[in-house]
Structure 1
Amino acid sequence: MRWIALFLLLLNVGIFAWFALGSGAQEEAVRVTEEKVGVQNKRIILVGEVSPQTLPPLTDSPARSPVDHSAEQLCTLLGPFSEEHQGEAIVQRLKALQASAELRDIEMQGPMRYWVFLPPLNSRREAFNRLRELQAQGIDSYVIPKGALADGISFGIFSERKRAETLTDNLVGRGVRAQLREEPQTHRERWVVLAPGASDYLAPEFWHRLQQEYPELDRRRNLCAEVAG
């Protein structure tokens, strides 16, 4: 009977140990599974909840390069032509060579002029009254009929600045509040305008032959925006 009791005791101990070890393994498996699930279900943290010192540094994102407005396109100009048919003939020759070109009337800058004047008065009648006073003093002048200085008094327009300054000083010395104004001269000329890059593929022989046919022909490059028709 004693051996039977001892056997039953050892059997119970073995069964208890088996259940204890199995439960620990199950708990370990459950713990590992929960850790994996916890990583997947980790709470999203808003930027506002994080201290600025813990945030990673920002990296520069790619951006478009700024537009370089200084790289304006240039057009080639040939001219000027006093006769329209001469310019049209050259346009046709250029188009035959697959060079894009057209004949345009372009406003060109001329030499500067210098205008000595009295600013506009309140009315045309007042301008003529002032004109009579000036002419009575022997001052050559006339009323400006139109434009930005209409109803003002003109004392002359000069091509040389020094002459205009001398007259202005003389008038101021005589009590006349004359002023000096620069007036750019402009005039329209007829030019053949080639599109940007159109002249780069023309052979030197073409330009040489063209120069022989038109000795006075001028070739220059201008900003295309400035020679728009």
Structure 2
Amino acid sequence: MRWIFILLAVANISLFAWFMSNDTPSAVRVAPVVQGDNTASISLVSEVDPAQLASTEPAPRATEQPRPEASAPVQKSAGASEALCTLVGPFDEVYQGEDVARRLQALQVDASLQEIQMQGQMRYWVFLAPLNSSQEAFRKLRELQAAGVDSYVIPKGSLENGISFGIFSEMERAETLTKDLQSRGFAAEFREEPQTYLERWVVLGSGAGGVSPETVADDFWDQLQLDYPDIERRQNLCSEIRSGDEE
């Protein structure tokens, strides 16, 4: 009986081992790890549905557009410069200037003969300030002449009814006379007086209404220099040219 029991026990163990070796193991399940409300769960790839896997692929990153560089500040161009006029001269005789003006006009250049105020040597005027009336001026003149001071009444201009003691080309002489008169009790003073004189010049425009003087051929200027050896060509601001008939 004991041997029968042992045989049955061995048979049962062998049968159990055979069933265990042929049984398919069940799928392994991994419980998700909870990391908080905002944290996604981790799952094995084998447990994820392929359709769900495709939907969870990361979207392609949008191509980052290059940041436009700040454009360099545009410098404002300087304001247009004042117009320049060309002057040709001076001419001693009117017909000479008129001849040159006609030659230039034949080339469609705006040109005209004008008498221009020219800046001369600086002068220094010693004077007594204007008085209230011509009567007071002449009374003061008699007083000065009685004292042996050479003087005269200024008849017009900015110093009208003043007393003039002379105009000098040297500032030292004007200062000396002014100090001498002041030491004798006369309120003399002096100021600079630019000397002006008139000259005949052909004035060429800036080219706004015709041909620009700069486009005139060199041959023209060479011939003009041969015909009038003493003349010259210069440029000046048109706004600074003063005709002889201007105040």
Which TM-score applies when normalising by structure 1?
0.66
Aligned to 2:222: 208
TM-superposed CA distance for 1:131, in Å, is: 1.5
| Distance (whole Å) between structure 1 residues aligned to residue 132 and residue 153 of structure 2 | 13
| Distance (whole Å) between structure 2 residues aligned to residue 171 and residue 211 of structure 1 | 53
Q: Secondary structure at the match of 1:80?
A: strand
Aligned to 1:183: 193
Letter in 2 for 1:90: V
Q: Secondary structure at the match of 2:150?
A: coil
Aligned to 2:93: 83
TM-superposed CA distance for 1:78, in Å, is: 0.2
Q: What does 1:121-200 align with in structure 2 at a 5 Å threshold?
A: 121-196=131-206, 198-200=212-214
Letter in 2 for 1:219: R
Q: What does 1:4-23 align with in structure 2 at a 5 Å threshold?
A: none
More helix by share: 1
Aligned to 1:111: 121
Q: Deviations over 1:59-84 (max 9, x none)?
A: 99x99947615x11211100112322
Q: Deviations over 1:27-47 (max 9, x none)?
A: xxxxxxxxxxxxxxxxxxxxx
Q: Secondary structure at the match of 2:144?
A: helix
Runs ≥4 residues deviating over 3 A: 62-67
The answer on whether the counterparts of 2:117 and 2:242 sit within 8 Å (CA) in structure 1 is no
> Larger deviation: 94-103 or 218-227?
94-103
| Distance (whole Å) between structure 2 residues aligned to residue 227 and residue 147 of structure 1 | 22
Picking from 210, 218, 234, the partner of 1:220 is: 234
Change (3 A) 1:131 1:85: same
Q: Secondary structure at the match of 1:131?
A: helix
| Distance (whole Å) between structure 2 residues aligned to residue 109 and residue 212 of structure 1 | 27
Change (3 A) 1:95 1:143: closer
| Distance (whole Å) between structure 2 residues aligned to residue 154 and residue 139 of structure 1 | 10
| Distance (whole Å) between structure 2 residues aligned to residue 127 and residue 187 of structure 1 | 29
TM-superposed CA distance for 1:99, in Å, is: 2.7
Which TM-score applies when normalising by structure 2?
0.61
- How many pairs does the alignment contain? 169
Q: Secondary structure at the match of 2:91?
A: coil
Aligned: 1:68 with 2:67: no
Q: Which 5+ residue runs of structure 1 have no aligned equivalent? A: 1-58
Name the Cα RMSD after superposition. 2.4
| Distance (whole Å) between structure 2 residues aligned to residue 85 and residue 141 of structure 1 | 42
Letter in 2 for 1:216: D
Letter in 2 for 1:99: V
Q: Which 5+ residue runs of structure 2 have no aligned equivalent? A: 1-69
